[in-house]
Structure 1
Amino acid sequence: METLPTSIRYVRTEESPTMAPPVATGGVTGWLKVNLFATPRDTVLTILTLLLLLWMVPPIIDWAFISAVWTGDGREDCIGPGTGACWAFVEAKFGQFIYGRYPIEERWRVDLSGLLLILGLVPIAIPSVPYKRENALYLLVVFPVLAFILLTGQFGLEPVETPLWGGLLVTLVVAIVGIVVSFPLGILLALGRRSEMPIVRMFSVIFIEFWRGVPLITVLFMSSVMLPLFLPDGVTFDKLLRALIGVALFSSAYMAEVIRGGLQAIPKGQYEAANAMALTFWQGTRLVIMPQALKLVIPGIVNTFIGLFKDTSLVLIIGLFDLLGIVQQNMNDPNWISPATPATGFVFAAFVFFIFCFGMSRYSAYMERRLDTGHKR
């Protein structure tokens, strides 16, 4: 190969200075061009979206903030031309929205139960905090006992019957119990449906298909109205307990199918590797198969949890007033009946549901990123 003459050869002895990105791709202008105005179609969609927002957002802001009534003693303060949201109604009924008809002087027990729950959830949700096994033991064994004692009234505390419970308290109790019970039960049902033992597989299939084939409203109605008819005389169950059992069994069927999808996505080689290591079925499932399967179906699991949390509003059909039910009940208060009261109450309930569901969604996305050990192309 011909060698270049020394007079025209050049060797750089220092790094070239860093240059600013082109105006067309850097800064705010570049971001707008790439994300909003990259093609004529994107430009048209962006303009239509901006026009839609200009049409919708100003009236919403005016109704929710500018023309809203923030303080008041009754419906007269929320009636008038151009009156927006009646946040005074939410302020006056906030205690019932959270606690239902739980006695005011005993509401500290609900607050303490919530604090104990947070003290267990935060350490187990942060990966860097140690003692996960102890935290799980506290949440699954110690906390339920303490919460039961505090909420129902045991060991000298004033008894509070479950018909007095309501609002966000009932929503969280039904959702948390349903989530905690349906997850392990769903794992067992998923494993049972893939079992090679005919009786176990048949039982799992019948259980899953039965509970997936009936609406949750029917389950709640049957547990509240029909179940007592089949019990011996003098034997009864608390209405809230019946709802908890129905919701947990209903949700476990859906959870089982989500987890079964993760099990089917595991390559056969992983099962063979567990067998090659002389692991028993349960050891291989616990140490090799299930961690991979659960990681694959995190979105489906959290989606089931979110659906369960929102479905708690259906307990109203059996006379349990959850957050949405207690909001609807207070809308009929003669002292607060006004055109703005229903919309304000529903917006408040929707906001509370959104906070919890959005939090679960964001945490699941964080766990997906943290557990993503695959090789990206």
Structure 2
Amino acid sequence: MEEQVSRFVAGSYLQPLPPPAAEGGWTGRIRKSFFATPLDAVLSLLSALLIGYIAVGLYQWGIANAVFTGENRSACLGDSVGACWAFIGARFQQFIFGLYPVEERWRVVLVFALLVVLLVPLAIPRAPFKRLNASLMFFVFPLVTIVLLTGGRFAMTGSSIALAFALAAAVTLFLCVGISSRAGSYGLTKVAVGLTVFGLLAAFAAPYLNFDRFSVLTFRFDTLSFVALLASLLAITLSFVTALATLEEKSGALRLVYPTLAALFFVATLTTDFGLAPVPTNLWGGLLVTLVVALTGIALSFPLGILLALGRQSSMPAVRLLSVVFIEFWRGVPLITVLFMATFMLPLLLPSGVSLNQLLRVLVGVSLFAAAYMAEVIRGGLQAIPKGQYEGADAMALTYWQKMRMIILPQALTLVIPGIVNTFIGLFKDTSLVSIIGLADLLGAVRRGFNDPAWITPTTPATGLVFAAFSFWIFCFGMSRYSIFMERRLSRGHKR
């Protein structure tokens, strides 16, 4: 028996044989991928011929026969002339800045530079000072952008100031309830809620009602807006007192001061004269308008979409009904209709003497429209969270907002990263619709260039549209790749 077994025991280690020539190396991979069967071989050859034909045509049109320099249309005329890149070079600044004054374009360049400086470290996961970077990006940068692009020195009405502090009171109350589990049952909290609601309603109603007007410092108030301001300040004070009374660590109440400081910074920044020349928004255009509309829509629709998604799953019938009505209304209306309504119908609903800038109306409409779609994407992530996560959070005696902020939302948002980025990409491409209502975004600026008598040629439209398409593709491809990077970093795509 032992003799028979010993015959099958190798006396020396044999090196593994190389794979067959038909299976290994790059030739083997190509054979498996493209020539595994006769049908695959035929399809691969036809596809290669088609791709080669298109590539040769694009090369001849875009490079070999293209015109890169020239001062007018005469350089791009001819039977064999390809792309007229001289047209892009001649009008490149209009495609970026629109009709923004030449001597003031340094302000736009500075805004673009600040955006890159703040956004790149925020997008790198291991970059330090994330909290400071986020604060500068989402709170300071928007105000700096408004002042630089418009020139600042806004004449804010009393109702606008009252609304700013009413929103600060609402955020302060939200933070108070979120950081203290006993704040919801505290008596002063209910008073603060009533004052906050009154402040918001009074600030919105003040422009429609005629009350006596008077001056406070350099601002013009009416009676109702001034009362709304006082109610909001009192609500902020009560929220701070509630936090001090219910928190064991009193230092945690200091964060409640941030919304009020933000409101003060907002009012002070927009009303201060920085010596910049005013530039009306009807002179903005090109990539500037595209980025303003897209980034504003993204920044506002994301938090609003989270609130709407939470509201749609709320146990309170009124909140759930309002969220459902909002989402279904905005999802059922085309974006172009929203833009027309914001441009032509919204001014009819405003009180006399109150007007909103056309670009501002578009920003509001686009943000609300995108928020409805964002809410449904986030709701899908919330529904994918196991019930045990909610039960575990309840067992830890967390408040509703603590549970959502620390346990539920991080998991839900991680699950729907592709859907969120897909919504952002769709919003970025939809900015081209604003050209229909008279705003010259990147695509609109390119199309307006077609009517320039100095550059009317047969190849000018195709060249301009290719340039616009490539510009949009760069931004959309960047967002797509960053989405893939975040998915891989969070390892959601590899977990089952």
Change (3 A) 1:375 1:308: closer
CA, structure 1 residues 374+309, in 2 after alignment: closer, same or farther (shift >3 Å)?
A: closer
Residue in 1 aligned with 2:377? 258
Deviations 1:197-229, CA, capped at 9 Å, x for gaps: 000000000000000011111101111111111
In structure 2, C-alpha distance between the alignment counterparts of 1:12 and 1:193, rounded to whole Å: 72
Q: Which moved more, 1:52-61 or 1:190-199?
A: 52-61
How has the CA–CA distance of structure 1 residues 21 and 196 changed in structure 2, closer, same or farther, with 3 Å as cutoff? same
TM-score normalised over the length of structure 1: 0.95
2:329 corresponds to = 210
More displaced 10-residue stretch of structure 1: 203-212 or 142-151: 142-151
Taking the aligned partners of 2:116 and 2:366, their CA distance within structure 1 comes to: 23
Aligned twin of 1:45? 43
* 1:24 equivalent in structure 2: 22
Q: Post-superposition shift, 1:287? A: 1.3
Shift of 1:315: 0.7
Give CA-to-partner distance per residue, 1:48-73, whole Å, 9 cap, x none.
21121122221111001100011011
Deviation at 1:9, TM superposition (A): 6.5
Aligned pair partner of 1:172 in 278, 291, 304: 291
1:361 and 2:480 aligned: yes
* CA shift digits 1:288-346 (9 cap, x unpaired): 11111111111111110000000001111221100000000011000100100000000
The counterpart of 1:65, out of the listed 50, 63, 66, is 63
Secondary structure (helix, strand or coil) at the match of 2:80 reads: coil
Q: Distance in 2 between matches of 1:6 and 1:174?
A: 79
CA gap of 1:180–1:12, structure 2 versus 1, over 3 A, is farther
Q: Are the counterparts in 1 of residues 385 and 412 from structure 2 also a CA contact under 8 Å?
A: yes
Which protein has the larger Cα radius of gyration, Structure 1 or Structure 2?
2
Q: 2-side partners of 1:198 and 1:284: how far apart?
A: 20
The total of aligned residue pairs comes to 375
- 1:130 deviates by 1.7
Give the 5 Å matches for 1:1-377.
Answer: 2-4=1-3, 8=7, 10=9, 17=15, 20-154=18-152, 155-373=274-492, 376=495
| Separation in 1, partners of 2:299, 2:90 | 34
The answer to whether the 8 Å contact 2:305/2:371 transfers is yes
| Residue type at the aligned position of 1:188 | L
Q: 1:156 to 1:38 in 2, by over 3 A?
A: same
User: TM-score by structure 2 length?
Assistant: 0.73
Shift of 1:121: 0.7
Q: What is the rounded CA distance, in whole Å, between the counterparts of 2:358 and 2:494 in structure 1?
A: 50
Question: How much does 1:7 deviate?
Answer: 6.3
Indicate if the aligned counterparts of 2:83 and 2:462 stay in contact, CA closer than 8 A.
yes
The whole-number CA distance in structure 1 between the counterparts of 2:493 and 2:452 is 56
Equivalent residue of 2:91, what SS?
helix
The alpha-carbon distance between structure 1 residues 37 and 68, as it changes in their structure 2 partners (threshold 3 A), is: same
Distance 1:254 1:293 in 2: 16
Cα distance, 1:375–1:51 mapped onto 2, change above 3 Å: closer
SS of the equivalent of 1:335 reads helix
Distance 1:16 1:277 in 2: 61
Give the Cα–Cα distance (whole angstroms) in 2 for the partners of residues 41 and 284 of structure 1.
56
Shift of 1:25: 2.6
Counterparts of 1:341 and 1:356, CA distance in 2: 23
Give the 3-state SS of the residue equivalent to 2:348 in structure 1: helix
Gap change, CA 1:9 and 1:295, over 3 Å in 2? same
Q: C-alpha deviations, 1:66-105, integer Å up to 9, x for none? A: 0001101111111101110000000000000000001111
Q: CA deviation at 1:22?
A: 3.2
SS in 2 for 1:71: coil
Counterpart-to-counterpart distance in 2, 1:50 and 1:375: 33
The residue identity in structure 2 corresponding to 1:146 is V
Q: Residue 373 of structure 1: CA displacement? A: 4.9
In structure 2, C-alpha distance between the alignment counterparts of 1:90 and 1:266, rounded to whole Å: 50
Instruction: Write out per-residue CA displacement over residues 112-167 of structure 1, whole angstroms, 9 at most, x where no aligned residue.
Output: 11111111111111111122111111110011111111111131011111110000
Amino acid at match of 2:22: A
What is the letter of the counterpart of residue 58 of structure 2? I
Q: CA deviation at 1:264?
A: 0.8
Q: Is the contact made by 2:415 and 2:492 (CA closer than 8 Å) also made in structure 1?
A: no
Identity of aligned residues (%): 63
Could you tell me which runs of 5 or more consecutive residues in structure 2 were left unpaired when the two chains were aligned. Answer: 153-273
CA distance in 2, matches of 1:372, 1:12: 46
